[in-house]
A and B are shown apart, each in its own frame.
Chain A
Amino acid sequence: MTDTLVPFEDVLKDFDPALGLEVHVELNTATKMFCGCPNEFGAEPNSQVCPTCLGLPGAMPVVNGKAVESAIRIGLALNCTIAEWCRFARKNYFYPDMPKNFQTSQYDEPIAFDGYLDVEVEGETFRIEIERAHMEEDTGKTTHIGGATGRIHGADHSLVDYNRAGIPLIEIVTKPITGTGAKAPLVARAYVAALRELILALGVSDARMEQGSMRCDVNLSLAPKPSSGEPGETKLGTRTETKNVNSLRSVERAVRFEMSRHAGVLLSGAKILQETRHFHEDTGTTSAGREKSDAEDYRYFPEPDLVPIAPAREWVEELRGTLPEPPSERRARLQGEWGFSDLEMRDAAAAGALSLIEETVAAGAAPQAARKWWLSELARRANDTGVELTDVGVTPAQVAEVQKLVEAGTVNDKLARQVFEGLYAGEGSPAEIVAARGLAVVSDEGALSAAVDNAIAANPDVADKIRDGKVAAAGALIGAVMKEMRGQADAGRVRELILEKLA
């Protein structure tokens, strides 16, 4: 079945979107949520499991205190109230990714609730209301065998690795986000980006979306626009939940696609089915998943094996003292220190480059140079390869080193791009790449002088113009020299030589 899509611009004529974002963050504690197994990514299958996280009979869970601390810090950073008393709950469902047949989570007593996070989109600030942040455990990883596409349908059996089962998760749920109109896809993206920035600043997770340590479920519904004159009816439409949207760009695309799809369904007179959807990175589309279970289908009940959590107010205040600078204040401070224009600052924030620029500056680069590399060459690379800027394969220290090479005249901007090519390919440090690839600007005056002489001889009319004082014509000769030197010359020095010789 193909979806009838309404062009995005037309969706807004008839409908107002409402967003709801659920973000799961895997904490970077040393151990799992309820047992002492290591919390590590990429270990061999079923090598980080014990009787507790395998749900073996008689095994008893014990809460990881560090995970509770991280949960409270996240809650405080999101301006939430921290529960005086709360419990864990069992979420019962029948799927082999949890060997206990339930997931230990929190239900109606989350550790943190009623907060907000302000995000900025194109100069406009949106306050995203946070409904709750609760603690739970991650599930095991299933691999479906026998189906053509690795999907569950058509598979004849599945394999389960429980290394991930029990890793501490914080689920952060927004209240319905309305009033964003055409900016809904950008607001969704900006929220997840801001949340990621906050999580990284707190140091509680590495928040790598492509590795799944930060995952986003995108809820979207459309409500008919109130007809003019009538008081606005705020009833929300039926929502769909697009699961596991795993990059900032995909969050934006998933919202955009679902808005167009919902509008197509609604305008045809049909109803939106409340269901989960799968997002497809390759096409930017979604497809139907399962019908959404009602909360009561999970038969939540208080976890009898874990005693309630009642964080002392002194502890909460102590943790409040460990919070990083709030993102908006940090942006204002950095803008002052760097001397960026509003537009430059906004672009850098939107690209998720603030911390990268900050670290590059700390490594010795000038702010504008750091900005230039991260938002041009490296942003292009991230976009082309479909990864976040942080995962582009180049560190802030390396960017600063490349910039030093540029300032020392060892390489020019064009050659610097080739140094980055070497860094992507893992060929060593910038200096090593310059040496190995022979990228250094030729400072051999003899070779340079000969190339300038050749260019003058080959372009006598241009040379005459320069002799007559038309200095602007030098560009044509510089181009010829750079071509002969295969780009490995300092354009400024070439220009000097040309003007000297034709004076």
Chain B
Amino acid sequence: MPEITRDEVAHLADLARIDLDDAELDHLAPQLNVILDSVASIQGVAGDDVIPTSHPLPLTNVFRDDVVRPCLTPEQALSGAPAVEEQRFSVPRILGDEQ
């Protein structure tokens, strides 16, 4: 039975840049375990002879020709942005370091 610990939830929250306090961690860890338990019940059904499915269709090699297609205009591209500056998407201060 897989179990997700409180520390693992804290680590995931950190990776996702979500600030969770102690009470939220106490609350969320058991909830996530319920979800994992439910998913784990599927493991009982899958036999060793069934390989994990990533793609339901037996297709390979779907390629596109290397031909330019029209882009959005910068105005269209930026139309949904909450904030724009110098024709760029403006995002809030990034915490942490360059990726």
Is there an interface contact between B94 and A30, defined as CB atoms closer than 8 Å?
A: no
B55 touches A307 (CB 8 A): yes
Q: Does chain A have a CB within 8 A of B46?
A: no
Stretch at the interface among A41-49, A349-357, A428-436: A41-49
Q: Does B73 contact A (CB under 8 A)?
A: yes
Our pick among A29, A152, A161 for the contact of B88 (Cβ within 8 Å) is A161
- Total CB contacts across the A-B interface at under 8 A: 147
Provided the pairs A48-B71, A87-B54, A155-B94 are in contact, do residues A308 and B60 lie with their beta carbons within 8 angstroms? yes
Residues on the A chain within 8 Å of B16, using CB: 94
| Alpha-carbon gap, A157 to B81, bound state (A) | 14
Contact yes or no, A159 B66, CB < 8 A:
no
Mark out the residues of chain A between 12 and 59 whose CB falls within 8 Å of any chain B CB in the assembled complex. 29-31, 35-38, 44-51, 54, 56
Which of B15, B60, B98 is packed against the most chain A CB atoms within 10 Å? Answer: B98
Asked if B68 contacts A46 (CB within 8 A), the reply is no
Nearest CB to that of A140 among chain B residues?
B89
Give the distance in Å from the alpha carbon of A68 to the alpha carbon of B97 in the complex.
32
B74 lies within 8 A of A46 (CB): yes
Q: Is the CB of A37 within 8 A of B97?
A: no
Task: Indicate if the CB atoms of B61 and A310 lie closer than 8 Å.
Answer: yes
Residue on A with the closest CB to B68?
A: A38
Residues of A within 8 A of B87 (CB): 44-46, 161
B98 pairs with A152, CB closer than 8 A: yes
Decide if B92 touches A159 in the complex (CB within 8 Å).
no
A156 adjacent to B93 (CB under 8 Å):
yes
Residue of A nearest to B58 (CB): A307
From the candidates B59, B65, B98, name the one contacting A289 in the complex (CB within 8 A).
B98
A31, A155, A161: the one within 8 Å of B66 (CB): A31
B15 touches A67 (CB 8 A): no
Residues of A within 8 A of B91 (CB): 96, 157-160
For B86, what are the chain A residues with a Cβ–Cβ distance below 8 Å?
Answer: 45, 159
Given contacts A93-B99, A157-B92, whether A30 and B55 have CB atoms under 8 Å apart is no
CB-based contact A158/B93 at 8 Å: yes
B71 engages A307 (CB within 8 Å):
no
A158–B99 Cα gap in the complex (Å)?
14
Residues of A within 8 A of B67 (CB): 30-31, 36
Mark out the residues of chain A between 140 and 187 whose CB falls within 8 Å of any chain B CB in the assembled complex.
142-145, 152-153, 155-162
**Known contacts A46-B78, A158-B91; A309/B61 CB under 8 A:** yes
A97: B residues at CB distance < 8 A = 99
Contact B88 A37 (CB under 8 A): no
The chain B residue with its CB closest to the CB of A94 is B17
Please determine whether A159 and B90 come into contact, CB atoms closer than 8 angstroms. yes
- Return B20 CB to nearest CB of chain A, in Å: 15
Complex partner residue of A159 from B60, B71, B88, B99, CB under 8 angstroms: B88
Q: Establish whether residues A304 and B64, one from each chain, have CB atoms under 8 Å apart when the complex forms.
A: no
| A65 lies within 8 A of chain B by Cβ | yes
Best-buried of A36, A63, A64, A144 by chain B (most CB within 10 Å): A36
Question: Which A residues are in CB contact (< 8 Å) with B93?
Answer: 155-158
5 A–B contacts, CB within 8 A, in A order:
A50-B72, A54-B72, A94-B17, A142-B94, A152-B98
